[in-house]
Each structure stands twice: as C-alpha cells, then as structure tokens.
C-alpha cells in the first residue's frame, strides 16, 4: 500500500514540474505550450487522485496510513484547483474563465473533505468564490469567518510554525 503513496507522489511531482513550466508563459512558452503543460499536469494529478482514492477506500485501518492518504488526496485536489485557476488565466473568453474557476471551486471543495489540520483548500475555495462573485465578500461572511476561526485554531496548535498557515 505504501507503494501507492510513492507512485502518487511521483505523479504529483511530475504534475508540479509541468505546472512550473507552464508558469513560464511568455518567457519560454507560447500560450499553446502553456495549455499543453497544464493539461499534462492535470492528467498526472488526476491519476494520482485516482490511485489515492482507491487505496483510501480499501484501507481498513484508521491510523497513520489512512491519514497520510487523506493528506495526499487533499494536496492533490489543491494542486488540481490551482491548475484550473491557471487555465482560467489562460482563457480567451469570460465564459471559459468562469467555467475553469467553477471547476477550481468544485475541486477545492472536494479537497476540503480530506484536509487534516490544513487550510489550503479552504482558503483557495474562498478566493475562487470571490473571483466568481465579488458579492461573496458580503454573502459568504459566515463561511469566511468560520475559515478564519479554523486557521486561528490551527496556528495555536500543531501548525504554529508553518509559514503557509500564517
């Protein structure tokens, strides 16, 4: 089973490599090359998620292995959400950009179900919801405040030394 996590991490690393290459738009990549790199990263991260979800569903222990799977799944969904946001930035129309932002929101929401003492998907879900509809700053106040409270609890505990939490 540990091989599943190792294989998923390899796919995740490869996805991050292609994501990083895509982020070089205008430096060494045309818009079409950027899209191809993002698509390759998206394919890799989906494969990692598929592997991890299968292992998570099959895992019978409630211990560290299942927690590790959950962390990896949440991380992969976070990466996938970021890829969709990058696709939105590359979009040639507002409709296409909105579609990709909605996909990012769905993906971050999925990641929330697996987050263990983390806030990456939570934070990015709020950001995407604001990008989709600025009125969310007012209509989503309760959700935003719940997220702030969750993060404040985390930084008082095991995440007090983690820069991302701050």
pLDDT tens-digit map of 127-148: 999 999 999 999 999 888 988 8
pLDDT tens column, 33-73: 888 989 999 999 999 999 999 999 988 776 788 889 999 99
Q: Report the C-alpha gap between 39 and 164 in whole angstroms.
A: 26
CB burial readout 107-119, b (16+ within 10 A) else e: bbbbbbebbeebb
User: Contact at 8 Å (CB) between 71 and 98?
Assistant: no
- Lookup: tokens for 149: 């409270």
Q: Report the C-alpha gap between 63 and 66 in whole angstroms.
A: 6
Stated pTM of the model: 0.89
The conformational region for residue 30 under phi > 0 = left, psi -120 to 50 = alpha, else beta, is: beta
Residue in the block written with tokens 């998206």: 42
Interior angle at CA 112, CA 106 and CA 113, nearest 5? 105
């Amino acid at each position: 089973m540990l091989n599943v996590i190792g294989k998923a991490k390899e796919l995740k690393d490869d996805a991050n490599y292609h994501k990083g290459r895509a982020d070089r738009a205008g430096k060494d990549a045309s818009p079409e090359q950027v899209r191809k790199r993002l698509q390759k990263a998206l394919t890799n991260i989906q494969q990692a998620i598929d592997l991890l979800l299968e292992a998570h569903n099959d895992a019978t222990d409630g211990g560290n292995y299942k927690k590790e799977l959950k962390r990896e799944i949440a991380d992969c969904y976070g990466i996938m959400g970021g890829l969709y946001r990058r696709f939105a930035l590359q979009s040639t129309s507002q409709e296409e950009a909105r579609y990709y932002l909605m996909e990012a929101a769905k993906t971050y929401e999925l990641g929330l179900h697996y987050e263990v003492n983390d806030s990456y998907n939570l934070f990015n879900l709020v950001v995407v919801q604001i990008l989709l509809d600025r009125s969310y700053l007012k209509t989503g106040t309760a959700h935003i405040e719940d997220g702030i409270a969750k993060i404040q609890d985390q930084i008082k505990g095991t995440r007090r030394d983690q820069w991302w939490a701050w």
